[in-house]
Amino acid sequence: MAWKTLDDMDLNKKRVLVRVDINVPMENGEVTDATRIERIVPTVDHIQHAGGTVILMAHYGRPKGKVVPEMSLEHIAGTVAEVLGWPVVWANSDYRDAVKELEGDEILLLENLRFNPGEESNDPAFAKRLASLADIYVNDAFSAAHRAHASTEAIAHLLPACAGRLMQEELSALENALETPKRPVTAVVGGAKVSTKLDLLGNLVAKVDNLVIGGGMANTFLAAQSKDVGKSLCEHDLADTAREIMTKAEAAGCTILLPTDVVVAREFKAGAANEVVSADACPADAMILDAGPAAVAAINAALEASETLVWNGPLGAFEIEPFDAATNAAAAKAAALSKAGRLTSVAGGGDTVAALNKAGAADDFTYISTAGGAFLEWLEGKDLPGVAALKG
Binding residues vs ligand ADP (CB under 6 A):
191-193, 196, 215-216, 233, 288-289, 312-314, 316-319, 349-352
Q: Toward ligand ADP, which CB reaches closer, 84 or 286?
A: 286
Q: How many residues bind Mg ion (CB under 5 A)?
A: 2
Active-site annotation holds for 65: no
Minimum CB–partner distance for residue 188 and Mg ion (Å)? 15
Q: Which of residues 328-357 bind Mg ion (CB under 5 A)?
A: 350-351
Active-site annotation holds for 36: yes
Q: Toward Mg ion, which CB reaches closer, 42 or 350?
A: 350
Kindly name the residue from 4, 193, 231, 266 that is annotated as catalytic.
193
Minimum CB–partner distance for residue 323 and ligand ADP (Å)? 7
Active-site annotation holds for 193: yes
Q: Does 215 bind Mg ion (CB under 5 A)?
A: no
Kindly name the residue from 15, 19, 36, 39 that is annotated as catalytic.
36
- Could you give the C-alpha distances from 125 to 98, 121, 130, in angstroms and in order? 20, 11, 9
Phi, psi of 100 (to 5 degrees): -65, -35
Q: Toward Mg ion, which CB reaches closer, 208 or 353?
A: 353
Q: Does 372 bind Mg ion (CB under 5 A)?
A: no
Cα distance between residue 306 and residue 290, in whole Å: 23
**Partners of residue 188 on adjacent β-strands:** 212, 311
Cα distance between residue 82 and residue 146, in whole Å: 29
Tally of CB atoms within 10 A around 295? 27
One DSSP character per residue, 354-386 reads: HHHHHTT-GGGSSEEE--HHHHHHHHTTPPPHH
Cα distance between residue 17 and residue 131, in whole Å: 8
Cα distance between residue 43 and residue 266, in whole Å: 51
- Could you give the C-alpha distances from 171 to 117, 148, 226, 233, 342, in angstroms and in order? 29, 17, 40, 34, 21
Cα distance between residue 156 and residue 285, in whole Å: 56
Q: Does 324 bind Mg ion (CB under 5 A)?
A: no
Minimum CB–partner distance for residue 364 and ligand ADP (Å)? 19
Active-site annotation holds for 62: no
Minimum CB–partner distance for residue 274 and ligand ADP (Å)? 12
Q: Toward ligand ADP, which CB reaches closer, 350 or 381?
A: 350
Q: Toward ligand ADP, which CB reaches closer, 91 or 289?
A: 289
Cα distance between residue 295 and residue 257, in whole Å: 9
Cα distance between residue 55 and residue 71, in whole Å: 19
Cα distance between residue 67 and residue 115, in whole Å: 5
Minimum CB–partner distance for residue 342 and ligand ADP (Å)? 25
Q: Toward ligand ADP, which CB reaches closer, 24 or 233?
A: 233
Q: Does 21 bind Mg ion (CB under 5 A)?
A: no
Kindly name the residue from 350, 372, 381, 382 that is annotated as catalytic.
350
Q: Which of residues 29-48 bind Mg ion (CB under 5 A)?
A: none
Minimum CB–partner distance for residue 134 and Mg ion (Å)? 36
Task: Report the interface residues with Mg ion, using CB under 5 A.
Answer: 350-351
Which residues are part of the catalytic machinery?
A: 36, 193, 350, 373
